[in-house]
Amino acid sequence: MGLNLISGDTTRSRYGRGGSRRPINEINMTPFIDVMLVLLIIFMISAPMLSTGVKVQLPKAGAPSLDEKVQPLEVRVLPGDKILLQDQPVKLNELAARLTAIAQNKTDTPVHLRADRQLPYQDVMQVIAAVRGAGFTKLALVTEQPQ
């Protein structure tokens, strides 16, 4: 048996002749840094676009009326926090319970929402959230025909 002496020369490459063939146990950070820089650039470009708003004047809809076999429930939202369910005044916190009582727990009954055009968007969305919170999935917003 012979004895191999390894020289103390550490300047040789890791895979060079006579060197040990150990796997590299370092994480290559270059692809990670490349991906992070690309994401940084994308977010820097898209962030200002998300914070700006565009004023939109919504048009009147000229869609034809729906032919439904089931008589829909009608909810009207008027200025001054007035809500009418089937022409009966109701408060917003009572709307969901009254809807389910009238529909006899049939949440597939269509609901037609008529809201005054001067109302703030938040008021209309609160009524929509109450209707959806009651479990009704068929909600239609009623508009006027353009002249």
Domain regions of the chain by residue span: 73-141
Residue 19 pLDDT: 60
- Per-residue pLDDT at 54: 43
Residue 86 confidence class, pLDDT cut points 50, 70, 90: confident
Per-residue pLDDT at 101 exceeds 70: yes
Q: Is the pLDDT of residue 118 over 80?
A: yes
Compute the distance between CA of residue 131 and CA of residue 122 in angstroms, rounded to an integer.
14
pTM beyond 0.85: no
Task: Report how far residue 116's alpha carbon sits from residue 88's, in angstroms, rounded to the nearest whole number.
Answer: 17
Predicted pLDDT at 41: 93
* Gyration radius (Cα) of the chain, Å: 34
Separation between Cα atoms, residue 132 and residue 103, nearest integer Å:
14
85 beta partners: 75, 88
Query: 75-114 burial string, b = 16+ CB within 10 Å, else e?
Result: bbbeeeeebebeeeebeeeebbebbbeebeeeeebbbbbe
- Name the pLDDT band for 35 (thresholds 50, 70, 90): very high
What values do phi and psi take at 48, rounded to 5?
-65, -30
Residue located via tokens 């055009």: 117
Mean pLDDT of the chain: 77
pLDDT digits (tens, 9 = 90+) for 38-55: 999 998 888 777 655 445
Q: Which CATH number fits domain 73-141: 3.40.50.720, 3.40.309.10, 3.40.50.9100, 3.30.420.270?
A: 3.30.420.270
